[in-house]
Amino acid sequence: MKVRTGMRMTLRCCALLLAACAGLAFATPLRVPEADRRGEEQTYLTFPEWFLVFSPDEFADSLEAGGTPSQFPWFSHVRQFWSAYTRVWEATKRYPFNGEYHTMIGVIGTSTTVEYGIRGAYETLVGRLTELTSAPNATPEDRLAAEQARDYVEFVRVRPWYEFDFVTPLKRLWGDTPMFGPDMLRKWERRYLLTSDWAVKATYAALLEKATHSTFETPKVTTVSVVREGDRTQVEAFPRYQGFTDASLALAQRGGAFEEIAGNRGPILVSVVVPVMQPVAAGTTVLIRQPILTRAGYERRVLQVPVPQLADELRAHAKAGDAIEHVFDF
């Protein structure tokens, strides 16, 4: 009896000691300077913002694959945006309300809804008719639009959309593109559409850029993190936005790991594009699932991953050959 009692006492002491050690580890002060920290809720709130990069990317891909603007699922993308924002709203209820970010999402979501609604209706009613008069991408105007769509996507991966130069493609449309030639109906219809589209966006972008700079602070272009490689742990400034995804993949491939990202050790979001039939790995938390509407059989999965496990997650998906789309770096 005394032996059993002693064993129970010993096990209990060990359990308490382990709990105390865990508590001390959790209470370890953050190493990222306070000025470089961002709220944990922002990894969730950046997803709607980045959906408006993923959507134009799908559009550019569809044009490059020989698709037409009327075939693009404009209205379904609007539904995907608001559905994802609903999931994000639910996930961030446990954090202090970030009014600035929610306001920004409301503005870009509303403007995108209007833009996609008008564009979708126009392409369905008018664009589809002129498509019947020519082959896909047959006119110089169509080819210029496809080129501009790709340039826009590559730009907004690293800079705010309102800084994109919409004036240059407008000048090319009227200065470099022949005004006469084959497929005249489609040619002039595209000129009307692209002129209207790019002129309105150039004006809106200029106004929004001015309002943003006068209202909000200039966002930091780096994400300060604590990383471990081998026996060495250090504080390092990574590029923000798409650059953070690329740098995170490079760190993971070198065998490194994150301990903190922008002062956070909790969940961080990662999006991957995988076959719909691919099973979700055990222990993986999926926040959002969206079908890739222009690519049958594939879907976007937005995963919640603890910061210390991020590198392991990236290595696993890279090994499986999955497309790692983005790491949402707060």
Task: Summarize pLDDT for 223-234 with one digit per residue, the tens.
Answer: 999 999 999 999
Torsion angle, CA of 84/258/318/315, rounded to 10 degrees? -130
Q: List phi, psi (to 5°) of 173.
A: -60, -45
* Own/partner long-range contacts of 100-106 (Cβ < 8 Å, ≥24 apart): 100/216, 101/41, 101/42, 101/45, 102/45, 104/49, 105/45, 105/48, 105/49
| CA-only gyration radius of the chain, Å | 24
Domain span including residue 265: 220-328
User: Is 35 part of a structural domain of the chain?
Assistant: no
- End residue of a domain, out of 215, 247, 282: 215
Tell me what pLDDT residue 208 has. Answer: 85
Cβ-proximal residues to 110 (8 Å cutoff; 6+ apart), any chain: none
Q: 239-254 burial string, b = 16+ CB within 10 Å, else e? A: ebbbbbbebbbebbee
User: Is 34 part of a structural domain of the chain?
Assistant: no
For residue 321, CA distances in Å to 50, 198, 236, 273, 318 come to 22, 37, 28, 10, 5
Nearest to 49 by CA among 242, 194, 248: 242
Q: 219-233 burial string, b = 16+ CB within 10 Å, else e? A: eeeebbbbbbeeeee
Tell me what pLDDT residue 215 has. Answer: 67
Domain tally, the chain: 2
User: Is 36 part of a structural domain of the chain?
Assistant: no
Decide which of 217 and 156 is more confident.
Answer: 156
Tell me what pLDDT residue 216 has. Answer: 66
- Tell me what the mean pLDDT of segment 174-182 comes to: 94
pLDDT level of residue 328 (50, 70, 90 thresholds) = very high
**Same domain? 285 vs 190:** no
* 242, amino acid identity: Q
User: Is 68 part of a structural domain of the chain?
Assistant: yes
- Cβ atoms of 224 and 236 within 8 Å: the answer is yes
Tell me what pLDDT residue 22 has. Answer: 41
pLDDT level of residue 28 (50, 70, 90 thresholds) = confident
**Average pLDDT over all residues of the chain:** 91
What is the rounded CA–CA span in Å between residue 85 and residue 130?
35
**Same domain? 257 vs 115:** no
**Same domain? 206 vs 122:** yes
Cβ-proximal residues to 40 (8 Å cutoff; 6+ apart), any chain: 95, 264, 266, 267, 330
- Cβ atoms of 157 and 242 within 8 Å: the answer is yes
User: Is 319 part of a structural domain of the chain?
Assistant: yes
- End residue of a domain, out of 166, 186, 215: 215
**Same domain? 230 vs 119:** no
**Same domain? 204 vs 62:** yes
User: Is 32 part of a structural domain of the chain?
Assistant: no
- Tell me what the mean pLDDT of segment 142-153 comes to: 97
**Same domain? 190 vs 243:** no
- Tell me what the mean pLDDT of segment 111-119 comes to: 97
**Same domain? 160 vs 78:** yes
**Same domain? 74 vs 172:** yes
User: Is 207 part of a structural domain of the chain?
Assistant: yes
**Same domain? 196 vs 317:** no
**Same domain? 234 vs 121:** no
**Same domain? 189 vs 264:** no
pLDDT level of residue 220 (50, 70, 90 thresholds) = confident
What is the rounded CA–CA span in Å between residue 330 and residue 241?
9
**Same domain? 184 vs 69:** yes
pLDDT level of residue 171 (50, 70, 90 thresholds) = very high
